[in-house]
Amino acid sequence: MAGDINREQHSLLRSDWRAYLKEGLGTTDNDRKLRERIRDRVVTGLYDVAILNQYARDDDIKQIFGRLSNDLTENTEQSDIVNGEDRELPETHFVAASALVSLAWRGLRECGIDRDRIFNQVVVRSIERAEADYQGVPHGRIESDISLSKLETHGDVEEMDPIDKWKRGLGLTGEDLRTLHNRVSDHPEVETTSGEDIGELIDEYLVKGDGRSD
Protein backbone atom coordinates (compact mmCIF):
# COMPACT_ATOMS: atom_id res chain seq x y z
CA MET A 1 0.00 0.00 0.00
CA ALA A 2 1.12 3.55 -0.71
CA GLY A 3 0.77 4.47 2.96
CA ASP A 4 3.27 1.77 3.96
CA ILE A 5 6.11 3.15 1.81
CA ASN A 6 9.07 4.66 3.65
CA ARG A 7 9.21 8.00 1.80
CA GLU A 8 12.60 8.94 3.23
CA GLN A 9 14.08 5.72 1.90
CA HIS A 10 12.33 5.56 -1.48
CA SER A 11 11.80 9.19 -2.49
CA LEU A 12 13.80 10.71 -5.34
CA LEU A 13 14.35 13.79 -3.17
CA ARG A 14 15.00 13.61 0.56
CA SER A 15 12.60 15.53 2.77
CA ASP A 16 15.25 18.11 3.70
CA TRP A 17 16.04 18.60 -0.01
CA ARG A 18 12.38 19.27 -0.77
CA ALA A 19 12.25 21.79 2.06
CA TYR A 20 15.45 23.40 0.77
CA LEU A 21 14.03 23.78 -2.76
CA LYS A 22 10.81 25.32 -1.46
CA GLU A 23 12.63 27.82 0.75
CA GLY A 24 14.90 29.11 -2.02
CA LEU A 25 18.39 28.32 -3.24
CA GLY A 26 21.39 29.89 -1.54
CA THR A 27 24.76 30.76 -3.09
CA THR A 28 27.31 29.44 -0.59
CA ASP A 29 29.72 26.59 -1.35
CA ASN A 30 27.52 24.23 0.68
CA ASP A 31 24.50 25.35 -1.33
CA ARG A 32 26.27 24.70 -4.62
CA LYS A 33 27.36 21.23 -3.45
CA LEU A 34 23.83 20.41 -2.35
CA ARG A 35 22.37 21.58 -5.65
CA GLU A 36 24.87 19.38 -7.49
CA ARG A 37 23.83 16.37 -5.40
CA ILE A 38 20.18 17.07 -6.16
CA ARG A 39 20.91 17.41 -9.88
CA ASP A 40 22.87 14.14 -9.95
CA ARG A 41 20.05 12.34 -8.15
CA VAL A 42 17.43 13.67 -10.57
CA VAL A 43 19.52 12.77 -13.65
CA THR A 44 19.68 9.20 -12.35
CA GLY A 45 15.93 9.31 -11.78
CA LEU A 46 15.27 10.44 -15.35
CA TYR A 47 17.20 7.47 -16.72
CA ASP A 48 15.36 5.20 -14.31
CA VAL A 49 12.11 6.48 -15.84
CA ALA A 50 13.46 5.57 -19.29
CA ILE A 51 14.29 2.04 -18.10
CA LEU A 52 10.88 1.70 -16.45
CA ASN A 53 9.13 2.83 -19.62
CA GLN A 54 11.06 0.34 -21.71
CA TYR A 55 11.05 -2.76 -19.52
CA ALA A 56 8.23 -2.56 -16.95
CA ARG A 57 5.18 -4.77 -17.42
CA ASP A 58 2.00 -3.12 -18.65
CA ASP A 59 0.11 -4.02 -15.49
CA ASP A 60 2.84 -2.44 -13.33
CA ILE A 61 2.71 0.80 -15.32
CA LYS A 62 -1.07 0.78 -15.07
CA GLN A 63 -0.95 0.42 -11.30
CA ILE A 64 1.66 3.16 -10.95
CA PHE A 65 -0.63 5.65 -12.65
CA GLY A 66 -3.89 4.18 -11.38
CA ARG A 67 -3.23 3.98 -7.66
CA LEU A 68 -4.29 6.79 -5.36
CA SER A 69 -1.30 8.70 -4.02
CA ASN A 70 -2.16 9.52 -0.42
CA ASP A 71 1.03 11.53 -0.11
CA LEU A 72 0.06 13.73 -3.05
CA THR A 73 -3.42 14.51 -1.80
CA GLU A 74 -3.19 14.29 1.99
CA ASN A 75 0.42 14.75 3.13
CA THR A 76 0.78 18.35 4.30
CA GLU A 77 4.36 18.45 3.05
CA GLN A 78 3.36 17.79 -0.56
CA SER A 79 -0.25 18.97 -0.74
CA ASP A 80 0.79 22.46 -1.84
CA ILE A 81 1.55 21.15 -5.34
CA VAL A 82 -2.04 20.04 -5.88
CA ASN A 83 -4.68 22.59 -6.86
CA GLY A 84 -8.07 22.40 -5.23
CA GLU A 85 -9.73 21.41 -8.49
CA ASP A 86 -7.14 18.68 -9.07
CA ARG A 87 -7.98 17.03 -5.74
CA GLU A 88 -11.26 15.87 -7.28
CA LEU A 89 -9.63 13.99 -10.16
CA PRO A 90 -9.98 10.20 -10.23
CA GLU A 91 -7.18 7.97 -9.03
CA THR A 92 -4.67 9.03 -11.68
CA HIS A 93 -1.59 11.17 -11.29
CA PHE A 94 -2.55 13.99 -13.64
CA VAL A 95 -0.67 16.60 -11.60
CA ALA A 96 2.59 14.65 -11.38
CA ALA A 97 2.44 13.53 -15.03
CA SER A 98 1.86 17.10 -16.17
CA ALA A 99 4.80 18.28 -14.06
CA LEU A 100 7.06 15.63 -15.60
CA VAL A 101 6.22 16.82 -19.12
CA SER A 102 6.68 20.46 -18.10
CA LEU A 103 10.04 19.72 -16.47
CA ALA A 104 11.29 17.96 -19.60
CA TRP A 105 10.15 20.80 -21.85
CA ARG A 106 11.73 23.45 -19.61
CA GLY A 107 14.97 21.53 -19.32
CA LEU A 108 15.40 21.03 -23.05
CA ARG A 109 14.48 24.65 -23.76
CA GLU A 110 17.02 25.82 -21.18
CA CYS A 111 19.63 23.80 -23.09
CA GLY A 112 18.87 25.90 -26.17
CA ILE A 113 16.98 23.27 -28.14
CA ASP A 114 14.44 24.65 -30.62
CA ARG A 115 10.86 24.16 -29.49
CA ASP A 116 9.76 22.61 -32.82
CA ARG A 117 12.51 20.02 -32.54
CA ILE A 118 11.44 19.19 -28.97
CA PHE A 119 7.83 18.96 -30.03
CA ASN A 120 8.45 16.70 -33.02
CA GLN A 121 11.23 14.50 -31.66
CA VAL A 122 10.11 14.26 -28.03
CA VAL A 123 6.42 15.02 -27.66
CA VAL A 124 4.96 13.65 -30.90
CA ARG A 125 7.34 10.70 -31.21
CA SER A 126 6.81 9.77 -27.56
CA ILE A 127 3.03 9.86 -27.91
CA GLU A 128 3.13 7.70 -31.05
CA ARG A 129 5.46 5.15 -29.47
CA ALA A 130 3.45 5.09 -26.25
CA GLU A 131 0.21 4.54 -28.17
CA ALA A 132 1.88 1.71 -30.11
CA ASP A 133 2.99 0.10 -26.84
CA TYR A 134 -0.49 0.56 -25.38
CA GLN A 135 -2.11 -1.10 -28.40
CA GLY A 136 0.57 -3.79 -28.58
CA VAL A 137 1.64 -2.98 -32.13
CA PRO A 138 5.16 -2.31 -33.48
CA HIS A 139 6.54 1.22 -33.37
CA GLY A 140 5.88 2.99 -36.66
CA ARG A 141 2.34 1.61 -36.95
CA ILE A 142 0.79 4.69 -35.34
CA GLU A 143 0.08 7.72 -37.50
CA SER A 144 -0.87 11.10 -36.01
CA ASP A 145 -1.61 14.64 -37.13
CA ILE A 146 -0.40 16.34 -33.93
CA SER A 147 0.99 19.79 -34.69
CA LEU A 148 2.32 22.78 -32.80
CA SER A 149 0.16 25.36 -34.54
CA LYS A 150 0.55 28.03 -31.88
CA LEU A 151 2.82 28.64 -28.90
CA GLU A 152 3.00 32.30 -28.08
CA THR A 153 3.34 34.53 -25.05
CA HIS A 154 0.31 36.55 -23.94
CA GLY A 155 0.17 39.69 -21.86
CA ASP A 156 -1.28 40.08 -18.39
CA VAL A 157 -3.37 37.04 -17.45
CA GLU A 158 -5.86 39.29 -15.68
CA GLU A 159 -6.61 40.99 -18.99
CA MET A 160 -7.27 37.73 -20.83
CA ASP A 161 -10.78 36.80 -21.88
CA PRO A 162 -12.28 34.21 -19.48
CA ILE A 163 -12.68 31.66 -22.29
CA ASP A 164 -8.94 31.93 -23.03
CA LYS A 165 -8.17 31.35 -19.36
CA TRP A 166 -10.50 28.35 -19.36
CA LYS A 167 -8.85 26.79 -22.43
CA ARG A 168 -5.39 27.24 -20.91
CA GLY A 169 -6.35 25.83 -17.53
CA LEU A 170 -5.63 29.11 -15.73
CA GLY A 171 -7.24 30.23 -12.49
CA LEU A 172 -10.65 31.86 -12.87
CA THR A 173 -12.09 34.59 -10.70
CA GLY A 174 -15.69 34.59 -9.55
CA GLU A 175 -16.43 37.22 -12.17
CA ASP A 176 -14.85 35.03 -14.86
CA LEU A 177 -17.07 32.12 -13.86
CA ARG A 178 -20.17 34.32 -13.90
CA THR A 179 -19.23 35.59 -17.35
CA LEU A 180 -18.81 32.07 -18.73
CA HIS A 181 -22.05 30.94 -17.09
CA ASN A 182 -23.91 33.86 -18.65
CA ARG A 183 -22.45 33.11 -22.06
CA VAL A 184 -23.53 29.49 -21.84
CA SER A 185 -27.00 30.51 -20.65
CA ASP A 186 -27.35 32.94 -23.56
CA HIS A 187 -26.17 30.44 -26.16
CA PRO A 188 -29.01 29.78 -28.64
CA GLU A 189 -28.52 26.00 -28.51
CA VAL A 190 -28.62 25.74 -24.70
CA GLU A 191 -32.13 25.31 -23.34
CA THR A 192 -31.18 25.28 -19.66
CA THR A 193 -28.13 25.03 -17.43
CA SER A 194 -30.09 23.70 -14.46
CA GLY A 195 -28.76 20.34 -13.33
CA GLU A 196 -26.12 20.32 -16.07
CA ASP A 197 -22.35 20.17 -15.74
CA ILE A 198 -21.41 23.77 -16.51
CA GLY A 199 -17.86 22.72 -17.43
CA GLU A 200 -19.13 20.34 -20.09
CA LEU A 201 -21.42 23.06 -21.44
CA ILE A 202 -18.53 25.53 -21.63
CA ASP A 203 -16.43 23.00 -23.55
CA GLU A 204 -19.28 22.07 -25.88
CA TYR A 205 -20.72 25.49 -26.69
CA LEU A 206 -17.99 28.03 -25.92
CA VAL A 207 -14.63 26.35 -26.46
CA LYS A 208 -15.56 24.64 -29.71
CA GLY A 209 -17.31 27.74 -30.95
CA ASP A 210 -14.90 30.09 -29.14
CA GLY A 211 -17.91 32.05 -27.94
CA ARG A 212 -17.00 35.43 -26.51
CA SER A 213 -20.15 37.52 -26.66
CA ASP A 214 -21.27 38.86 -23.30
**For residue range 55-87, what is the model confidence (pLDDT) as tens digits?**
999 989 888 887 655 444 444 444 444 444 444
Full-model pTM: 0.66
d(CA 212, CA 206): 7
Say if residue 155's pLDDT is above 70: yes
Q: Are 65 and 95 in contact (CB under 8 A)?
A: no
Q: Are 183 and 211 in contact (CB under 8 A)?
A: yes
Q: Which of 16-30, 133-147, 184-198 has the highest mean pLDDT?
A: 133-147
Sorted by where each begins, the domain ranges of the chain are 2-135, 157-207
